[in-house]
Amino acid sequence: MELYCSQYYCSVTMLVVIILVLLITMASSSPFTSLIPSSYSSANTTATQSTFMSAVIFPRSFGVGVYFIQIKVGTPPVSQYMVLDTGSDLTWFQCKPCNCFQSPGLVFDPLNSTSLSVVPCDSAPCSHLGCNNNQCQYKVDYMDGSFTQGMLVLEKLTFGGIGVLNVFSGCGHSNHGLVTGADGLLGLGGGPLSLPTQLRLHGLADIFSYCLPQGMVFGSLGWLNFSLPGALLPPGTAWIPLLPNPNTPTFYYVGLLGIGIEDMRLPIPESSFKRTRKGFGGVIIDAGATYTHLPTPVYEVFRNAYVAKTRNLPRFYSVHPVFDTCYNLSGLESSQIPNVSFFFSAGPILTLKRKNILVEQEHSIGTGLLRI
């Protein structure tokens, strides 16, 4: 977890969660039910009866903490490295011809895939999108300024040897931002065009779960499973209920009540984390965001309390524009760093230790600088 504050918003960032497993039950309805074909291929699968398909998650930093998953797109299948994102719906990949950002592999050529078809303008998914030459056009803008724009298509996606035909996807011809080294994005939100919703409508999987790897540690891997009810989870899995919000079905909300440092819960009103009657506010889980944003008053209470708890630690005053609380921790024991806890309306208390709270300053030589 990395804390930072800027002029416009303040944030807490959770970069490493290796023991928390997120299990999500997919949405129960969609206006596109009749458009989802039920055919799929299942050759070369090692999935169990309850786990439909599974794939490996691995960390890629490139200056920001995101998680990648490798899938294959089209027929013949082309490997694509996708950013894992539970905060958006549409799965998309860069397509020729392309005004693209740098990607690790070949840009996908839709003309070479025998399983791709363009979604026509009179289809239900296109009713709220654009149209050009009877081809459904999409554009998605992200909060960090990234965007993707292109054709909405039906295409085959393959995960760990299992292929699913006719998945609504974005064939992005104009893309900006995202992450250097990615080919696209895997949309795991709860909205009607998300991959989990489409798999449920295929009758293939009702839930998905993922476990993130150990930060940017080389060789550390996580997993993403799409399963039917009854799938086995690791022993000791902790459950935190997800809260639905009909106004924004894409997002997965949790009932956060408060934040603590060591054994002290901070004097932050629970109302700071609750949704309003109109559906605004609240706390969501977003695997595609490096930073977990807090309202400025909440961040200031947390930061001031953390600074008070660490007044004996040597401070480092960085000129970095967003990090306002930094330490020089060369040679210090991890036990000297106070833990941070999150209190939920149900389920266990999530306690984060040093490696989840402090991030080593990049390119520092022999200084052991870490920062909040």
Residues sharing a CB contact under 8 Å with residue 74, sequence separation 6 or more, in sequence order: 108, 110, 112, 113, 115, 116, 155, 156
Q: How far apart (Å, rounded) are the C-alpha atoms in residues 349 and 259?
A: 10
The answer to whether 101 touches 176, Cβ cutoff 8 Å, is yes
Q: For the CA atoms of the chain, what is the radius of gyration?
A: 22
Residues sharing a CB contact under 8 Å with residue 215, sequence separation 6 or more, in sequence order: 15, 16, 18, 59, 65, 355
Lookup: tokens for 123: 């289809």
Q: How distant, in Å, are the alpha carbons of 18, 36, 74, 140, 218 from that of 190?
A: 23, 16, 24, 16, 31
What secondary structure letter does DSSP report for 59?
Answer: E
Query: Does the annotation count 144 as an active-site position?
Result: no
The active-site residue out of 89, 183, 206, 286 is 286
The dihedrals phi and psi of 240, each to the nearest 5 degrees, come to -125, 120
Angle at alpha carbon of residue 179, lines to 17 and 171, rounded to 5°:
115
Lookup: tokens for 312: 């004996």
Q: How far apart (Å, rounded) are the C-alpha atoms in residues 271 and 149?
A: 38
The answer to whether 26 touches 206, Cβ cutoff 8 Å, is yes
Strand partners, 242: 254
**Start-to-end CA span in the chain (Å):** 8
Helical (H) or strand (E) element with 22: strand 22-25
The active-site residue out of 85, 89, 183, 324 is 85
Query: Does the annotation count 206 as an active-site position?
Result: no
Q: What residues act catalytically?
A: 85, 286
